[in-house]
Structure 1
Amino acid sequence: MASIESEANRNHYAAITANAGKMTSLQAISDFNDISWTTLTGEPGGVDYIEVDAGGVRALWIVPKGADERRVLFYAHGGGFFGGSIYTHRKLVGHVAKAVGCRALLYNYPLAHQAKHPAQTEAAMAAWNWLIDQGFDAKAIALAGDSCGAVLTYGVLQRLRAQGRQLPAATLIISGWFDMALTGASYETNREKDPAFAKESVDWLVTNFIGDRDRLDPEVSALYADLSGFPPVFLQAGGDETLVDESRMFAERARQAGVETRLDVFDGMLHSFQMMAGRAPEADDAIGRLAAWVRPKLGLPDAGGKIADNRAA
């Protein structure tokens, strides 16, 4: 049964939907979402935030006290390419980085009403190239993201592979958006459970992001990408969200491609419920699972203090 604290996430989405029709501009809706979203997350404490210019991209170094300085989470924030920023997500990523025991680089990108695809993936690549230029080893980096951050995560992976470059150690995806064609059955089966992401609303987000471009383009719909050779992936989704079947379908495609894959679906939870980190037990449990899974991939100690051998990751 969902905790009382977790209802804040459902209330957030219900408020966004209720207020959207009353606002006169896309920017006003986006701002309302961001202000409401930010308050969901508790402060992790013991985490420093340092703004940097990452190859022309605004980014935040998120550095927990005592964190391993050579391991990095490279994080793409969600928001449907309509909202969200390094500021809405800094506390969430602070919780994740603190649990893992490494630093994180959380980067911005243009929202869709500022620039259409592929501007967002180009920003992600600029930030990645900057990170590598700082001397970090790709095998000591895990890619991570929530919602539309999955688009950028797998866009970066596809571009790195096409360029013949080293891939990172692992991938963490929260409520991933993998299918711009919106073929998941959960758009209907969870329609009454999810107050925000009706198929019509997500269809609008697709058009806002890519216009009339091909919705099956693997760079925007990773469900249709060649996933062979990609790093291990841990997917999490809420059982009540309309996008949950996209994670299920992607997990199956990844397994078929030979990718080590884990999928955890959390009963009664909605989209990106991990934003309630530090306030809701479901969010803290999910982040603990992410951290326990990825630490060995990065060669960090597990919960018992044992150092994993990451050479084969």
Structure 2
Amino acid sequence: MMKEITIAATRRGNLARRIVRLGQTIPAIRRRDRVALGRIYRSTLSERFSYPRRVEAVWIDVGKNRVEVLRGSSGAVASGAALHLHGGAFIYPYNDTYRRAALEIFDRTGMTVYSPDYRIAPAHPYPAALDDTVATYRRILADGVPGNRIAVIGDSAGGGLSLSLVMRLRELSLPLPGAIVTFSAWTDLAMTGSSIQTNAGRDPMFGEGSEPLHPERYAGSTSFSNPLVSPKYGTYERFPPLLMHVGGFEIILSDTLDVAAKADAAGVDVTVMRYEGMFHGFQLGFGLVPEAKQAWSATGGFIKTIFGAESAPDSKGTTRTMTDTKEWFRLDNAAKIFPAISTKKETNTFRIQIALTEPIDPEGLQKAVDAAIERYPLFKVRLKNGFFWKYLDYNDAPFTVQPLPHIVCGSLLPKEHNGYLFQIYYRGPLFVLEMFHSLADGSGAIMFVKTILYEYLTSIGKKITPDNLILTRDSKPTKAEYEDSQATYYDPKNHAHVKEDKAFFVKGTPIPNDYIGLIAGTISTEKMLSLARSRQATATEYLAALMMHVIYVTQIQYREHLKENQKPVKIFVPVNLRRHFPSQTLRNFSIFAKSDMRMNRSDITFDEILELVKKQFAAGMTKSELQRKMSENYHFEKNVFLRATPYFIKLYALKIGYAIMGLSLNTLSMSNMGKFEIPVSMEPYIDNVACAVYSGKYNTLNIGIMSIGDKFKITFTRSILETNAEREFFRHFTARGIDVEVESNFVEEYL
């Protein structure tokens, strides 16, 4: 099913559109003087452009055209290739604007980039450009890159050419590429789309009409309706996944929308990102236009999701990372609150636990961590004080793995653990990562864990192939991995605040000495999913409803007096936004969805709760609602007075605000990290997996969920002695004939 994402215009985006419109007053542009414009283009050719030292650009001859190849400065070929097809209405040559785009593709994907300077009209009408593009594609195949490791990326005319290329490859029975990305694609040279009229005068790139496109110069004597000229008229069977970016003000907006609809009907995985208020080719604004930055970030995330692309080494044959320059990082939007509100009791840490099939060698694990951490410069940091905000600074202190202590999700405050914001433990076959939430969310932590396990298992002689599921240390970190994606997808027009009622708290006897109790139950994954499906629910919905019912039964139902204004039981569930908004960030990129219910009756049933949870989650997990919540969080940071306030004042404001609003809003959090996806070759060495989140003074009970194979593990952490909630929860499964294997850290023994 086609995914459609609409992004509201930003102030800077609207300003950019006005500046472009003002540019139309330049005489050469106003007259559409091709000779004068050509002179402008030629004045920006290669002698005026210099790539950074970390990359190497070489020209090669391919058939009747030249191709610029961009790769890591060692000249090594990366694990995939991007065929970059420039725009310019088929009448303007490859130039520095497009070379800047090639560099952006290289940085965002880590792939070797091939940019053909294909022959242009009117001297070389159709099929010259297409023939040159096919020849370049054949060259990439000849260089040893399989078709499914090639991404085709094109803007404007190059976007249409990208689609025509795949149609032509299909005719020639050549291997098809693994993905296509188009920016403002020109797919209908007949200019029949409805937006030609509806957006007339709105797109500053074209003034009042479409005359500057001159389709007849490229088509020559060929019909505009030929699919290899106008791919809108082609068929899309067997097309690879397709990401299409387009501006809402473009006169050729319908060129993208019409193609997306046809591709979707043919069963193609299509994502359309529509940027309201944006004009043709806005993506070439790069970092100057927020919408352009967002488009490039989404492109990197899309390619990463499909290919897991890696980059080439540098000129010394080693991977260059941001730690080579001892980089520092701003905290992402979600991370800023945690240093202000964390204490030894309220640690804001979480745990990823992997049980191997053999005992862990501590020395081998230490070496694996030392190797893996160089691949993750974002994690090789310590928390430092800045004038306006805390920030992450390069940490050159040694990192030491440690035996697993009895404390679960303990404090990782800056003065401990050599300043690192994570710690790795071992005990027997157990590998445990505990991480402070300012560093990353569960997705980023899991990627780190997989890299460490890969390094460890291969070092002891196990043969593991990454299969694009692991970031290996010989791959280069990309800018997209450090992105604050909440800032990227911030919508200034969709950040309405929704008032929240205070939540019911699970009560009990506090566990002393900062200890946390842990009880985990493992059940069959297939039986869990089957049970949820039998109620037309997801596993997350089913378990959230079950936990609400357990709290009702154990804490509320049998009270002598049920209050009419009983505080609602609220279950907060983190949603991985990467599944809804393309991103490859390793930072925090999640938002809470919730279900809540005022349990002020004595006859509430599990069935009733489940139906409510399903409705609330369906409403709370729409793209629009997720973006609203995300933008609401980020809008607070955009406050000009807050930004100008020194951190020592912010600190007190954040503590007070969280005490008043944050602590009281949820009953418990239930984090479902899903399936632990690893290469098939690694599966024999992993027995089971688990995740856990800290519990504190108010949120006394929390849940972490993770699975591998047919082992579905539900882990309770608690800061109270009572365990009747866990007992009631797991009895629900045994009563339905589902076996539960229960384990505990027996915290009572250490008190």
In structure 1, how many angstroms separate the alpha carbons of the residues matched to 2:16 and 2:93?
18
Name the SS for the 1:195 alignment partner: coil
**Between 49-58 and 114-123, the greater mean CA deviation after superposition:** 49-58
Output one character per residue of 1:71-130: Cα deviation in whole Å (capped at 9) or x when no partner. 111010000012141533011121122112222111111111221111111111111111
Q: 1:42 to 1:13 in 2, by over 3 A?
A: farther
Separation in 2, partners of 1:261, 1:37: 35
Map of 1:258 onto structure 2: 267
Q: Could you tell me whether the CA contact under 8 Å between 2:78 and 2:110 is conserved in 1?
A: no
Quote the residue 2:56 is aligned against. 48
Corresponding position of 2:124: 115
Q: Which amino acid aligns with 1:247?
A: T
Letter in 1 for 2:37: I
Whichever residue aligns with residue 60 of structure 2, its letter is V
For 1:57, the aligned partner's letter is: N
In the alignment, structure 1 segments of 5+ residues that lack a partner are none
Give the whole-Å Cα distance in 1 for the aligned partners of 2:25 and 2:126: 25
Structure 1 residue aligned with 2:229, among 217, 220, 225? 220
Cα 1:207–1:127 change in 2 (3 A) is: same
The residue that corresponds to 1:148 in the other structure is 157
- What residue ranges of structure 2 are gaps of 5+ in the alignment? 1-8, 311-442, 451-467, 470-676, 680-751
1:9, CA displacement in angstroms?
A: 5.9
More relative contact order, 1 or 2 (CA 8 Å, 6+ apart): 1
| Counterpart residue identity of residue 59, structure 1 | V
User: Per-residue deviation at 1:135?
Assistant: 1.4
Aligned counterpart in structure 2 of residue 162 of structure 1, from 171, 180, 186: 171
- Structure 2 residue aligned with 1:247: 256
Shift of residue 260, structure 1, vs aligned partner: 0.6
Cα displacement string for residues 16-71 of structure 1 (whole angstroms, at most 9, x for unaligned residues):
57434777963322333565899xx9988844322222344211112257997121
Q: Which residue in 1 is equivalent to 2:145?
A: 136
Whichever residue aligns with residue 48 of structure 1, its letter is E
Alignment of 1:291-310 (within 5 A): 291-300=300-309, 304=444, 305=447, 307-308=468-469
Deviation track 1:124-153 (CA, whole Å, cap 9, x = no partner) reads 111111121111111110111000012321
- The question of 1:30 aligning with 2:30 is answered no
User: Partner of 1:89: helix, strand, or coil?
Assistant: helix
What do the CA deviations read for 1:255-294 (whole angstroms, capped 9, x no partner)? 0011110000011111111111132222111100011011
Distance in 1 (CA, whole Å) between partners of 2:220 and 2:261 is 28
CA contact (8 A) 2:12 2:290 kept: no
Which amino acid is the alignment partner of residue 269 of structure 2? E
Q: For residues 135 and 267 of structure 1, do their structure 2 counterparts lie closer, same or farther at Cα, with a shift above 3 Å needed?
A: same
Q: Following the alignment from structure 2 to structure 1, what is the Cα–Cα distance between the partners of residues 275 and 12?
A: 15
Q: Cα distance, 1:298 vs. partner? A: 1.6
Aligned partners of 1:10 and 1:270 also within 8 Å: no
Q: Show the 5 A alignment for 1:176-191.
A: 176-191=185-200
Structure-to-structure mapping, 1:21-100, within 5 angstroms:
26-32=34-40, 46-63=54-71, 69-100=78-109
CA–CA separation in structure 1 for the residues paired with 2:277 and 2:32: 33
Partner SS for 1:74: strand
On the 8 A contact 1:23/1:29 being kept in 2, the answer is no
Is structure 2 residue 211 aligned with structure 1 residue 201?
Answer: yes
Query: What CA distance in whole angstroms lies between the structure 2 residues aligned with 1:271 and 1:22?
Result: 16
| Contact 2:101 2:284 (8 Å CA) reproduced | yes
- The percentage of counterpart residues that share the same residue type is 25
The 10-residue stretch of structure 1 (281-290 or 49-58) with the greater mean CA deviation from structure 2:
49-58
Cα separation, 2, equivalents of 1:86 and 1:227: 31
The aligned length equals 306
Q: CA deviation at 1:175?
A: 0.3
Distance 2:173 2:187 in 1: 24
Distance change (3 Å), C-alpha of 1:266 and 1:43: farther
Aligned to 1:284: 293
- Is the Cα contact below 8 Å between 2:10 and 2:290 reproduced in 1? no
* CA–CA separation in structure 1 for the residues paired with 2:184 and 2:282: 9
Residue 12 of structure 1: how far off its partner (Å): 4.2
CA change 1:17–1:159 in 2 (3 A) is farther
Aligned equivalents of 1:300 and 1:169: distance in 2? 12
Match in the other structure for 2:642: none
